[in-house]
A = this chain, B = another copy of it.
């Protein structure tokens, strides 16, 4: 079974468990989130869903994103100078790499992260519970185009 499909089932299951109704629009939104690799914005989810359900409202996307966030099935990446972006595949804190040219966002594998959090706790005495780690740069595609 492909990965996005597994992920989608998981999200549907979470909705069912919490007595949310399974609507076609909802499924379309889950599909976009499960299949997307670039961390879409609400606007981008909206555009994609509209290709199958042209009458879909932007408000519906917002409402569903809020539901999935509540169910901890969605990671929200807020940007103070841009619209929020969402990760429906890894709904927990992890680092990101953001291309400053095409605005695509990727999930890198970073092994040094656990060490970093430990070093931090030791040094500051903070009880660290969350993190938000964004690296900005130019992706290989955009580098090639220049």
Contacts and interface: CB of A to CB of B under 8 A. Distances in A.
Nearest to A84: B80
Interface string A85-105: 000000000000101100000
Nearest to A109: B123
Contacts of A24: none
A27 interface: no
A129 interface: yes
21 contacts: A99-B126, A100-B130, A106-B126, A108-B124, A110-B119, A112-B112, A112-B116, A117-B135, A124-B139, A124-B140, A126-B135, A128-B135, A129-B136, A129-B137, A129-B138, A130-B136, A130-B137, A131-B134, A132-B132, A132-B134, A133-B134
